[in-house]
Structure 1
Amino acid sequence: MRYRLDVVAASVPEVVSHAGGWLVDRVMAGWDVTVLISGTEDLRPLSILGVEVQDLEVALEMWADRPHPQTVAVSADLFTSDARVREGVMNALGHGMTEVTLWGDDWPDRLDATVGSVEHHLSAAARAFKAQALAASGVDATAIGRAETFLCGATAVPSVAADLVPAS
């Protein structure tokens, strides 16, 4: 069985900018990574990262029937603006069986003490693929850092995400 990561995002550039390197490293580690996104944007940057893409609206309608992933990553903006996404995140945090990771500039105040800041140190390959995906998105690719920072909710079972470490 392969580990699964579902990514819920508002836009392609947002995914690439905030989590692109982490997604590349997860794909290279053998994870099945699926980005759930709405709209008709150019999806080529996500192909560069090596992830699958599915329509967010369809996925939300069928969420109860989908196999539950080991990790769900969500845009903090989408968490704040979409009640369905927020409910799914809060349920996952409450059940404690799915690791929940959020990214963005405005992190939600509603999350409790079980959520903490973590970072993923990008491999050289992740930085290279992220740079290409950013360029394909029309985003400046010159300032790719060595790490990406997230909020991460604790799970009741040991984490499968050894690539996320507490941020100092």
Structure 2
Amino acid sequence: MIATDPLEAIEHAGGWLFDQSMAGWDVSVHVIEEGDTRPLAILGAPLFDLHDSLVNRKAFDQPGAGPWPQALAISAKVFAADERIRAGATSVIDRGLADIRLWGEGLPLELDERCLTTSHRLSCAAQAFKRQAFAAAHVDPDSLTAIESFRTAADHAMTPPHLVPAS
């Protein structure tokens, strides 16, 4: 996951992140701005500095150079603000290398037209752990919803079975 800060990650995609972790995925969150790591630890995700991650591994340029993510969740704010992320994510979409999902407002029109709105219904466990992450981050737990919405690349031949197209 790529977000501006830990709070954005837990608010918009924390339940999805938790459910992926519980399904056996290795998950990580890469951020531009530092923040409290406790809420992400509650969700089972280690936190990394995005700049260090991009410098140490040209993630988008070397898909055969090591483990390659099956899914990338990216904040629309980061996508719009960072040319490396924008170019890399677009390349991954074009080559069909991973499930790319974005959240938030401000997607460029050319990408917005290539995406479908999808949702992830949080498991009961994800809701419970996200509620605890909210409490650790001093976010009102009553603002938690059971569904997280994303925009996902429509270039894939079939929407993965764990995604439900929004009507």
TM-score range, shorter chain: 0.7 to 0.9
Does structure 2 retain, via aligned residues, the 8 Å contact 1:121–1:163? no
- Provide the rounded CA distance (Å) in 2 between the counterparts of 1:93 and 1:148: 21
Alignment partner of 1:40 is 2:39: no
Report which of the two has the higher share of strand: 1
- Provide the rounded CA distance (Å) in 1 between the counterparts of 2:79 and 2:66: 20
Alpha-carbon RMSD:
1.8
Does structure 1 retain, via aligned residues, the 8 Å contact 2:5–2:34? no
The normalised TM-score by structure 1 is 0.87
Q: Residue 17 of structure 2 aligns with which residue?
A: 23
The normalised TM-score by structure 2 is 0.88
The number of equivalent residue pairs is 161
Between 11-20 and 96-105, the greater mean CA deviation after superposition: 96-105
- Provide the rounded CA distance (Å) in 2 between the counterparts of 1:110 and 1:66: 30
Between 51-60 and 122-131, the greater mean CA deviation after superposition: 51-60
Structure 1 SS opposite 2:73: strand
- Provide the rounded CA distance (Å) in 1 between the counterparts of 2:112 and 2:7: 28
- Deviations, residues 38-68 of structure 1 (Å, cap 9, x unaligned): 3331111100000122221121121235532
Q: Residue 73 of structure 1 aligns with which residue?
A: 73
Structure 2 SS opposite 1:74: strand
Give the deviation of 1:156 after TM superposition. Answer: 4.4
Q: Which runs of 4+ in 1 moved over 4 A?
A: 155-159
Unaligned runs of at least 5 residues, structure 2: none
Q: Identity of aligned pairs, percent?
A: 41
